[in-house]
Amino acid sequence: MRPIGVGRRNWLFAGSDSGGETLARAMTLIETAKMSGLDPQAWLADVLDRIHDHKINRLDELLPWNWAPTA
């Protein structure tokens, strides 16, 4: 929880309300990946590699709690 507490002060000027909301979503996914025992950087790199041709009705497969690394 400390990174979130420290981040609040650092992200005070995220640019706009929508920028702050986007940052909050990203941090939620990263912290969820950590809590799921995943390496957030590996998870995010894999998702960014796969998302461009992933079916829209199967996006839930890319979420941290459903993630299985690809070979």
pLDDT digits (tens, 9 = 90+) for 24-46: 888 888 888 898 888 999 989 98
For residue 47, what are the contacts with CB-CB under 8 A and spacing of at least 6? 62, 67
| Cβ count near 36 (within 10 Å) | 14
53: which DSSP letter?
A: G
The predicted model scores a pTM of 0.64
**More confident call, 41 vs 3:** 41
- pLDDT of res. 36: 86
Place of tokens 């992933």: 54
Decide: 4 and 27 in contact? Cβ < 8 Å: yes
